[in-house]
Amino acid sequence: MATKRVTLREVAELAGVNPSTVSRALSPFSRHLVNPETLRRVQAAALELDYAPNRVASSLRTGRSHSIGVVIPDLTNPLFPPVVRGISDGLASAGYTALVTNTDRNVENERTMLETLLERQVDGLIMASAATDDELVAIGLDRGVPVVLVNRMVDDHRILAVLSDDWHGMNEAVGHLASLGHRSIGHVAGPLGIATGVLRRQAFFDAMATHGLDVPDRAVVVASTFTESGGTAAARELLRSFLACTAIVAANDLIALGCYAAAAELGRSCPDDLSVVGFNDMPFADKFCPPLTTVRIPAYEMGVRAARLLIDRLQDGSVPVGPVLLPTRIVVRGSVARAEAPLPAYRHRSAAT
Amino acid sequence: MATKRVTLREVAELAGVNPSTVSRALSPFSRHLVNPETLRRVQAAALELDYAPNRVASSLRTGRSHSIGVVIPDLTNPLFPPVVRGISDGLASAGYTALVTNTDRNVENERTMLETLLERQVDGLIMASAATDDELVAIGLDRGVPVVLVNRMVDDHRILAVLSDDWHGMNEAVGHLASLGHRSIGHVAGPLGIATGVLRRQAFFDAMATHGLDVPDRAVVVASTFTESGGTAAARELLRSFLACTAIVAANDLIALGCYAAAAELGRSCPDDLSVVGFNDMPFADKFCPPLTTVRIPAYEMGVRAARLLIDRLQDGSVPVGPVLLPTRIVVRGSVARAEAPLPAYRHRSAAT
DNA sequence: TTGTATGCGTTATCAA
DNA sequence: TTGATAACGCATACAA
């Protein structure tokens, strides 16, 4: 049943040449040193036998596997599928294949998967795993395998990174709210153990400062996870203590969804009694109730860029200094309304709770 | 920089034994043939040198790569990420790694990716690509590589398949509508070039028959794609010609979303003037307006089962006959309401359009 | 321009 | 129980 695979030797025999000639003829880089007539014969033989090279053997011989390990924290997070597609497409166009692994946001898992990838001799790593801890990033590096980070960064400058320009996106978000009269704006941050959580929180402070707005302590609450329930809990706390709050910028869309829920619990409707802005523009964010105003980040493009960056690194070592920032922009939908000046009814209800 | 990888030889030297002894000592299956004391020394040496086996060399020697090619039509379709996770988890627990590829629903792509996977000597293939055409499935089989299908099937009985029990799910969907008084139920089918499209349409006819309900020709319209816009166009046509229609079962959730849009266009609101049931229970289906009543299919579990099936096949060849069916069940949310007997207002509006 | 020889790191066979 | 040896399929340095 398991048909014996055709090898170079058999092609060589059929073509009446030495295996090494076949090897040369079939490789684009050495093809030019073989006689056109021989080339033709070899190609005909290869076609005839339906020859397919054994990349495993080739990898062993050359020391390059033409495969790249891709480490994703959670593939079911809607942010990542487009990133992975971008990576795959970017790699494929250079003859590389992605080995995609899911760590489930579990450090032990991640370590295991990294070992597996390294044992399989990946030529490089693209990591979207988001722990701020960089111990695991080092393990690739220690073995001389180049690493590109997506959607996170690390101080070590040997490590390339592709990021969305969250500073710009956050600035647009705050600007949009400010332009509609919001002054008391809150932020539900993501977990501070994750790079994105830290980054966006800082970007929020910066953006508020840029717009001359004050950020009282109680205006920022950190969610325990990047999930709807994490967002609900944090937003509940925020809304209860920051009574003047008329708008929230959430660290991602899932948390924004949690803000919807918390607002509803407290008898406030979005966008009339509370404006909400998300982050990521995940698929179907436009289908929520209300459709979510959010900051779009170029997920697919980030994947493509990460792939290219890694390949450049692999091929000639030319690398940009510092992280590559990709543009973000706000997408206006229905979850933001003009700020009403005072909100007596709401204050009353809140106080009663 | 690129640290030379430690090999068996070096471990052997440090331990003062022959490389083949190290190989034996480090493989769980031959470990028992080595002297406990030697074993200890070898393990110590391996640890000391931080040895990691080169799986590429091992694959070349043994002819088994312990990697499985996974062919997905579109990773950004929310149905697939959980399937892929299931596959990865299932494979990992048996020491296999997934090579995930995205075909973009393009046959040429799919052929290329398959060639790539085969060149990389995958031990098996899991294909979720959904073309009813089975030519591409044959190319794996021809080379003696076992194939498992997910979410589709094919007549060839050499090919294992894992499917959701769409017949049961469809029957529940129709039953639910019928129990609420719906008699004139329509179906927006998926493209008939895709297995799921055909299957679910047939399941719809069967379920309607089971419930003693009539299906006039105009009650079933085929969408051109499994997308919202495909669903909108088809539902528009259906609602315009099948005037009595009070409920639609859509072939998937995206199409159901299209039904929402088409209903809105025609001045009908869901669920009051039109009930809609989706299929798949994609993530965030509960966030739609209204929250979508839909048939849940066990995506993650399908992936796990597919992986197990393939591994069983690889290891001893014991295989079930016929496809493996995994249970589905309806998830009731807000997009279905009790049927109103006659709908004069609606008829009037429709006729005016 | 082509052929010869060798080795990549591992494992399987055989002998000791 | 361990060691020596060969081979998996390919690519390359070198010779012709």
Answer whether the bond into residue B81 is a cis peptide, omega within 30°: no
Instruction: Decide: pTM greater than 0.85.
Output: yes
CB atoms within 10 A of CB A270: 25
B334 at A interface, C-beta within 8 A:
no
Closest by alpha carbon to A150, among A92, A72, A98, A81?
Answer: A72
Q: B53 and A78 in contact by Cβ < 8 A?
A: no
B29-80: pLDDT as tens digits: 999 999 999 999 999 999 999 999 999 999 999 999 999 999 999 999 999 9
Q: How far apart are CA B178 and CA B210, in angstroms?
A: 11
Mutation to test the B interface, candidates A5, A58, A59, A76, most B Cβ within 10 Å: A76
Cα B249 from Cα B275, distance rounded (Å): 8
- d(CA A269, CA B339) in angstroms, rounded, equals 30
Give contacts of A142 with chain B, Cβ < 8 Å: 3
Does the beta carbon of A348 lie under 8 angstroms from any beta carbon of chain B? no
CB-nearest to A55 from B119, B283, B288 is B119
Does A294 touch chain B if contact means CB atoms closer than 8 Å? no
Q: Which of B97, B113, B126, B147 to mutate: most A Cβ within 10 Å?
A: B97
Residue nearest to nucleotide C6 (CA to C1'): A61
- Measured distance CA(B325)–CA(A301) in Å, rounded: 38
Question: What is the separation, in whole angstroms, between the first and last Cα of chain B?
Answer: 72
Distance, in angstroms, between B212 CA and closest chain A CA? Answer: 35
Distance, in Å, from the CA atom of B278 to the CA atom of B285, rounded to the nearest integer, reads 9
Residues of chain A neighbouring B60 (CB-CB closer than 8 A): 54, 56-57, 60
Question: Contact A250/A277 with Cβ under 8 angstroms?
Answer: yes
Tokens 């390059």, located at residue:
A64
Residue of A nearest to B72 (CA): A85
Q: 3-state DSSP call for residue B132? A: coil
Beta strands in B115-263 (DSSP E): 124-127, 147-150, 160-164, 185-189, 220-222, 247-250
Q: Give pLDDT tens digits for A53-101.
A: 999 999 999 999 999 999 999 999 999 999 999 999 999 999 999 999 9
Q: How many CB pairs under 8 A join A and B?
A: 114
Nucleotides of chain D in contact with protein CB (under 7 A) are 1-5, 7-13
Classify strands A275-280 and A293-296 as parallel, antiparallel or unpaired: parallel
Contact B173/B331 with Cβ under 8 angstroms?
no
Rounded distance in angstroms from the CA atom of residue B273 to the C1' atom of nucleotide C13:
77
With beta carbons under 8 A apart, name residues in chain B contacting A2. 144-145
Choose, out of B8, B62, B76, the residue to mutate when testing the contact with A (most A CBs < 10 Å): B76
User: Residue type for B217, please?
Assistant: D
3-state SS of A36-47 is HHHHHHHHHHHH
Of A2, A257, A283, the CB nearest to B144: A2
Decide: helix, strand or coil at residue A259.
Answer: helix
353 residues of chain A, pLDDT tens digit each: 456 789 999 999 999 999 999 999 999 999 999 999 999 999 999 999 999 999 999 999 999 999 999 999 999 999 999 999 999 999 999 999 999 999 988 888 899 999 999 999 999 999 997 666 677 888 888 888 999 999 887 777 778 999 999 999 999 999 999 999 999 999 999 999 888 999 999 999 999 999 999 999 999 999 999 999 999 999 999 999 999 999 999 999 999 999 999 999 999 999 999 999 999 999 999 999 999 999 999 999 999 999 999 999 998 777 787 889 999 999 999 999 999 754 444 443 333 33
Contacts of A291 (CB under 8 A, 6+ apart): A285, A333, A334, A335
SS3 label, residue B222 = strand
What token pair was written down for A98? 């992605």
- CA nearest to A303, candidates A127, A138, A103: A127
Sign of the C-alpha dihedral, residues B3, B4, B6, B12? negative
Q: How many Cβ atoms from other residues are within 10 Å of residue A345's Cβ?
A: 12
What are the Cα distances from residue A119, in Å, to A87, A91, A185, B11, B256? 21, 20, 49, 16, 45
Average pLDDT (B258-281) is 97
| Owner of token pair 């209903």 | B263
Q: Which two tokens stand for residue B74?
A: 């579109």
C-alpha dist (Å) from residue A321 to A160, A198, A310: 8, 22, 14
Q: Return the residue matching tokens 């480090």.
A: B26
Nearest by CB: A144 against B2, B67, B118:
B2
Nearest CA-CA distance, residue A224 and chain B, Å:
20
Distance of CA A209 to the CA centre of its chain: 28
What's chain B's average pLDDT?
A: 92
Per-residue pLDDT for B15 more than 50?
yes
SS3 of residue A247 by DSSP: strand
Contact A238, A255 (CB under 8 A): no
- Using the predicted structure, report yes or no on whether residue B217 has a pLDDT greater than 90: yes
The 10 Å CB-count burial string (b at 16+, else e) for B216-250 is eeebbbbbebbbbebbbbbbbbbbeebeebbbbbb
State which amino acid sits at residue B288. F
Residues of chain A numbered 248-267 and touching chain B (CB < 8 Å): 257
Cα dihedral B186, B190, B196, B202 sign: positive
Backbone angles phi, psi at A126, to 5 degrees: -120, 120
What's A125's DSSP letter?
E
- Bridge-based pairing state of the strands A329-331 and A293-296: antiparallel
Question: What's residue A330's pLDDT?
Answer: 98
Q: Is the CB of residue B50 less than 8 Å away from at least one CB of chain A?
A: no
Chain B closest-CA separation from residue A217 CA (Å): 31
Please tell me if residue A64 touches chain B, with a CB cutoff of 8 Å. Answer: no
Q: Is B56 in Cβ contact with A60 (below 8 Å)?
A: yes
d(CA B306, CA B147): 10
Distance CA B161, CA B114 (A): 18
Output DSSP code: residue A194: B
- Could you tell me if B242 and B219 are in contact, meaning their C-beta atoms sit under 8 angstroms apart? yes
The integer distance in angstroms from the CA atom of B102 to the C1' atom of D16 is 48
> Is A52–B142 a contact, with Cβ atoms under 8 angstroms apart?
no
At residue A71, the 3 state secondary structure works out as strand
Q: Is A143 on the interface with B (CB under 8 A)?
A: yes
Token code pair at residue B206:
């069967």
- How far, in Å, is the CA of A35 from the C1' of nucleotide D13? 20
CA distance A280 to A252: 6
Q: Tell me the per-residue pLDDT of A128-167, one tens digit each, with 9 for 90 and over.
A: 976 666 778 888 888 889 999 998 877 777 789 999 999 9
Distance of CA B299 to the CA centre of its chain: 6
Contact state of A75 with B55 under an 8 Å Cβ cutoff:
no
Residue B61's nearest nucleotide, by CA–C1', is D8
Determine the residue type at B333: R
Q: A288 vs A178, A282, A335, B267, CA distance in Å?
A: 23, 11, 9, 20
Report the gap between the CA of A81 and the closest CA in chain B (Å).
Answer: 5
Contacts of A94 (CB under 8 A, 6+ apart): A307, A308, A311
Distance CA B172, CA B209 (A): 13
Spatial separation of the C-alpha atoms in residues B302 and B160, rounded to whole Å: 13
Residue A346 tokens read as 């709401």
In this structure, chain B runs to a length of: 353
Nearest residue to A259 (alpha-carbon basis) of A234, A225, A226, A279 = A234
Using CB atoms, which residue from B81, B142, B257 is nearest to A287?
A: B257
**pLDDT (mean) for B13-22:** 96
DSSP state of B103: -
